[in-house]
Chain A
């Protein structure tokens, strides 16, 4: 491959990386110089020369293509594996292909096999990579103590233990064996809201556990 093509402006490349997630392979830095390549090769690399002498007289194809562009490969090309998934936003259920490289999700695209979506994703579905790997995600448990003014860190195990204690206490405090003489065997002390963005299996366990606790105030977006 020719190494002597004119380089794109670095700012433009940065924009491209930002806007489209385009990632060029390593070794194409701007330190490459025509003077190490010889004059003839250098002239050969000029777009106008290529346009006049090559197969692209209108200069809208190969003649205009830079070496950097020619070397670009889709980031999905180097993925270690493709995992079949489903878009997490609306209920159309578009198919997604999740590309994984070195244990990280590197790209999410529409699945052309899906008879529902035929490979398409809307702006939200197309932003799934940012949703799942973006900097806005919290990775740590946070805790706000009663009357506290700031978040504090709390480790996950302690949080789980504290929550379990509070569930037991609130459940007991809100327990009702009977209401107006009719058996209710329930608690009004604990409530839950959420589930429409969850998996069926998750909703199943939530309903099962909370029902066994005696909680009845179990709700989700399906009503909101």
Chain B
């Protein structure tokens, strides 16, 4: 965090100055470790063992927050008799279909009722819930984001003593019993004493009086079991009562100015604004069927129809009426995953002909970067919008494949448009930061030359396309022609008014009056709202994101700076900061509480709860939506109002986090016979996306070292915003790899000399940094050396180097379709890499030595 979010890290240091203990878990010793109380180096790819070990410690020592668990979680819920855990099936759950490599989650459900997922795979139960059928079985890992899940009719059976053998709590206890300190030591390389220290610190700093927070970044998400890493932290934090409370939580440290915003208002294939799922293709699907399948019965997702109809009104305005299902049919439908990696395959197949890159550099930043370039070389046309000539704009001229002779510039038919982009100082708009806070940035100057904002580009592209199709009678063009696309423009460039777009996102009623809360949204077409969770950002017609009351003039919540979704709440689910009676768990940790005299919730933060719902409220039978939530259901997006220790629906790869080895790993799975995540998302075989043998499979010794990629303070992601800046290039002038003195000795690597790093996908070279910061670990009885590589570099810019992503495969998390860049296996050798065709020959030789073919690593 001190490396990649240094200014945010000042708050960690503030906490430390007040007595907080800071633990840093990372394969590398970084600037964060230097400032932490405890640094725990561990094997990249083993975090679920580590977290599972802490969960086991908490359960074995009764270190959990019992009142919180009983009242606010699904710990007491009894599961179905036919559920089988990994304990019973040697590492897989019941419902696994080896043919389709997917789970049927029917047996994961609660006894007595069916839960529908509200985040994650909400489409899983479509046929069951609608009587229809699906054509999307190939990839069900679709919608994910915020949300709860649905309770079907009937009530779940609960045992508040937590003793029923099939209750979640007992299942959890059995599931994690094998995650012992000894196993942690063997699998993670973390000595027992150090592990015990972490367990003690976490449990001592949790409970009524104290809270513990977990902060993570893509070191947890970029794995074939990435979602389950986060889930493991969720299980732990829920057991400890650390969610919805000040100083608690699981904090995603996101890496781009608006990466949170681009998830909320998604440029993602599987989501519509506000985490409404994109519809999958189903027979005879209409709005009602969709809502029936995807919404929840209780909780705020019970109002999904209002959110969706209001969105359709924002998109299609007067054309969206009840008689035509508010143009629901205008939404394109998914058939499986259409992630960026499938898009590459579609480019190679010739299906995808045109590609827009908008401030993104996949030729460096995406896993298996060569595949990205091959995909682009198969396009008819490519539009790149960026500040400088990034690698994704110039690969046809000077990319690595030109050097190896695999491609010749004259043979590449892709037409490339490079359009210069406006900087943040040259346009106005809002970023959503990592804590869900929207902040408006104002325009300082006009963009230079032909540089334009992406708002300008998108608006005028839409305008031109609509003009060209204006006389079309083809029904495929109706959604474009009926689209509401009138935005006021200003200035010589006809820049669209970003404030008007924000107002559309906020929404308005039938009279055009701005809405102030998503609770005003209606499902009858009388309200329009472009993103329901952002409703209120333009309340009273005022840009709330532009509020800037100085921090010095506010309390610690600083509620008058910017605007946080939803409803300017700074801590989600904060009802859980109070006990079931509505009193803060402790005065030290008071955030919101029930005021009996006022008959309402009050507090330092905006209560994340129906304002007048008393703690004693119990809903009448059959109550739906928010009305179905009781006064002790703090997790209002969840269909049962509870935090989920166990996930009955919504995940593609199991209800409980379970350790699987990474796709490419030098080690066998110590915990189960099942080596890898059985339903991990493998892309179709391709000669440039070969997987490696793992564990005890012959050939795995060819790639004996664990590798991981990361960022450093002075550069930014794939380098498009940092490698062209002389100041930053001077601070970190060259691509490097970090290795321990032991590995340097073992492989003859010299400090500041060159190393060649090889995987089954590619070969790169890097300057060698020999450092104790990469501590060797003892894993499964042998010394493991890990290789660390920042992934910022590519061949263009003021500082150049090979891209670490050349080494990484395309095996993805099955829920999020995120690549596994944080744990893979390589070989490393001294000297520079071969040039030209010899580079390809080296990779081929490695593949041959390891016996790699198209089936390697694709086993269930």
A residues neighboring B (CB under 8 Å): 83-96, 98, 100, 103-105, 108, 112-118, 120-128, 130-132, 134, 136-151, 154-156, 159-168, 170, 172-175, 177, 179-209, 211-224
Contacts and interface: CB of A to CB of B under 8 A. Distances in A.
B289 interface: no
Interface in B530-557: 530-531, 534, 546, 548, 550-552, 554
Interface in B288-321: 315
Interface stretch (B178-186, B240-248, B422-430, B578-586): B422-430
Contact of A86 (B257, B346, B410, B414): B257
Nearest to A154: B417
Nearest to B315: A208
B415 A145 contact: yes
A223 B818 contact: yes
Interface in B458-500: 458-462, 464-465, 468-469, 476, 479-480, 483, 485, 496, 498
Given A93-B433, A205-B462, 15 more contacts: A84-B440, A88-B721, A93-B437, A98-B425, A104-B445, A116-B551, A123-B713, A137-B420, A138-B418, A141-B450, A170-B380, A190-B352, A195-B359, A208-B483, A221-B365
B317 to A, nearest CB: 12
B15 interface: no
A223 B816 contact: yes
26 contacts: A84-B548, A90-B256, A91-B253, A93-B435, A124-B713, A139-B451, A143-B417, A144-B415, A159-B419, A163-B461, A165-B468, A170-B380, A184-B335, A193-B340, A193-B355, A195-B262, A195-B360, A199-B258, A200-B264, A201-B505, A203-B258, A204-B501, A205-B501, A214-B332, A221-B259, A222-B259
B353 A189 contact: yes
Q: What are the 7 closest A-B residue pairs judged by CB atoms, nearest first?
A: A199-B429, A115-B551, A139-B449, A93-B433, A194-B358, A186-B332, A195-B267
Given A136-B724, A217-B269, A222-B259, A160 B460 contact: yes
Contacts of A193: 340, 343, 355-358, 360, 362
Overall SS of chain A's interface: mixed
A196 B354 CA distance: 20
B8 interface: yes
Interface size of B as a range: 35 or more
Q: Kindly name the residue among B7, B558, B726 whose own CB sees the greatest number of chain A CB atoms within 10 A.
A: B7
B561 interface: yes
A200 B437 contact: no
B427 A131 contact: no
Contacts of B360: 193-197, 220-221, 224
A132 B425 contact: yes
B551 A122 contact: no
Given A88-B423, A166-B381, A205-B501, A192 B259 contact: no
B385 interface: yes
B44 interface: no
B315 A211 contact: yes
Contacts of B728: 123-124, 127, 130
B709 to A, nearest CB: 12
Given A192-B356, A223-B340, A156 B450 contact: yes
A139 B448 contact: yes
Contacts of B383: 163
Interface stretch (B278-286, B744-752, B850-858): B278-286
Contacts of B173: none
B279 to A, nearest CB: 10
Contacts of A148: 409
Nearest to A151: B418
B762 to A, nearest CB: 18
Contact of B415 (A92, A146, A183): A146
Interface in B811-832: 816-819
Given A108-B425, A134-B724, A193-B358, A223 B716 contact: no
